[in-house]
Amino acid sequence: NEMVAEAERTGQPSFSFEYFPPKTAQGVQNLYDRMERMYDFGPKFIDITWGAGGTTADLTGEIVTQAQTYFGLETCMHLTCTDMGEDKVNDALQRAYKSGCTNILALRGDPPRNKEKWSATDENFRYARDLVSHIRQKYGSHFDIGVAGYPEGTDDNKDEEQLLDHLKQKVDLGASFIVTQMFYDVDNFIRWVGKVRDRGITIPILPGIMPIATYASFIRRAKHMQCGVPDHFMSALESVKNDDAAVREVGKVLVADMCRKIVAAGIPHLHFYTMNLAQATRLVLEELNWMPTTTRPRKHALPWKQSLGLG
Ligand code: FAD
């Protein structure tokens, strides 16, 4: 991935933002407003998530097109494969291709909640690796392909070695970068990166960072993702939990510290789960002093902008 390679070369940390398709038309408008505002924070690219089973196919495609062609933001479209037929997968890829999007995060997709025992919709797509090879087969090197990584295991698999085997398969089939599940335990993340590298996996690893907006959402998401919360996070946040402003202040320092530690360990690019909100991510970036300034302007080198003389 060129953007991450640049950060590796220059030593200047870079970051990206993840957004999800909102449920209402007003929500979509709000998201566009926010994306426009957060463009000025200088993300290297943005991600748009994909609703399981293709439930957001149209909207995800529309937001990708909008971001890519109107806002001039490099985009990465998430795509799941095991909960839809091949036609839907192909339609989504074609739409992304036509909109100028060159990055796909290739995922398996979560099993539906109401099903005890789950089986793939299309036998050709059982795992994310099948989507990775499908994209490579159909589009050669047009897309950079991201895949998911799990420093703390997944819902359905806590066997670290097995998960690393499966991660390696995705990489061997053509993945270009890894985006991790959210986490707060940096020591464990750094240990896990070591294990990934020991497997001979050299592609960039983008740690997934979830800024802290409120105490309730922090606890809910950590529980939902079954991610470990270090003691110092709990003790600092618990004492201010009823004061949202204080939670944001304490939270931004905790998350910024964690980002610094990750960068110091040699990881040059961080991926922020924005939850479609600007504030919590902005506070962390300000705390890190990573927001663009007049002496350090945000850099975007999109060919279409340059060709219009706007670059
Ligand atoms: P896989 O890599 O296929 O792994 C899934 C399971 O299968 C693992 O337990 C793995 O060990 C096992 N496995 C893999 N290969 C093999 C094999 N050859 N033999 C046996 N077992 C194997 N979901 C969405 O619906 N939309 C999104 O936009 C979305 N975005 C995400 C973004 C990130 C960064 C992450 C981390 C997850 C995201 N998810 C999303 C959730 C994801 O779809 C689920 O976590 C899903 O359960 C696993 O997807 P995967 O791509 O990691 O699957």
Q: Is residue 208 in contact with ligand 1, taking CB distance under 6 Å? A: yes
Q: Is residue 162 in contact with ligand 1, taking CB distance under 6 Å? A: yes
Q: Is the pLDDT of residue 3 over 70?
A: no
Q: Is residue 52 in contact with ligand 1, taking CB distance under 6 Å? A: yes
Q: What angle do CA 102, 204, 275 make, to 5 degrees?
A: 70
- Band of the pLDDT at 52, cuts 50, 70, 90? confident
Q: Is the pLDDT of residue 304 over 70?
A: no
Long-range contacts of 4-13 (CB under 8 A, 24+ apart): 4/44, 4/177, 4/204, 4/206, 4/268, 4/269, 5/204, 7/44, 7/268, 7/269, 8/204, 8/268, 11/268, 12/268, 13/259, 13/263, 13/268, 13/269, 13/270, 13/288, 13/290
Query: Ligand 1: distance of its center to the CA of 110 in Å?
Result: 7
Helices 57-65/86-99 angle, 10° precision: 10
pLDDT (mean) for 137-163: 95
Single out the residue of 123, 181, 117, 124 nearest to residue 154, CA to CA: 181
Residue 80, Cβ neighbours under 10 Å: how many?
24
- Band of the pLDDT at 297, cuts 50, 70, 90? low
The chain-wide mean pLDDT, for the chain, equals: 90
163-174 pLDDT, tens per residue? 999 999 999 999
Q: Name the residue with tokens 């705390």.
A: 287
Q: What angle do CA 81, 189, 3 make, to 5 degrees?
A: 65
Among 166, 169, 180, name the best residue to mutate to test ligand 1's pocket (greatest count of ligand atoms within 8 A of Cβ).
166
Q: Is the pLDDT of residue 58 over 70?
A: yes
Neighbouring residues of 170: CB distance < 8 A, sequence distance ≥ 6: 106, 128, 129, 132, 147
- Band of the pLDDT at 270, cuts 50, 70, 90? very high
| Interface predicted TM-score (ipTM) of this complex, two decimals | 0.99
pTM of the model: 0.93
* Ligand 1 atom closest to Cα of residue 150: 36
Single out the residue of 274, 301, 300, 287 nearest to residue 34, CA to CA: 274
Token pair in block for residue 157 = 């698999």
27-43 pLDDT, tens per residue? 999 999 999 999 999 99
Q: pLDDT value at position 110? A: 79
185-224 pLDDT, tens per residue? 999 999 999 999 999 999 999 999 999 999 999 999 999 9
Q: Is residue 55 in contact with ligand 1, taking CB distance under 6 Å? A: no
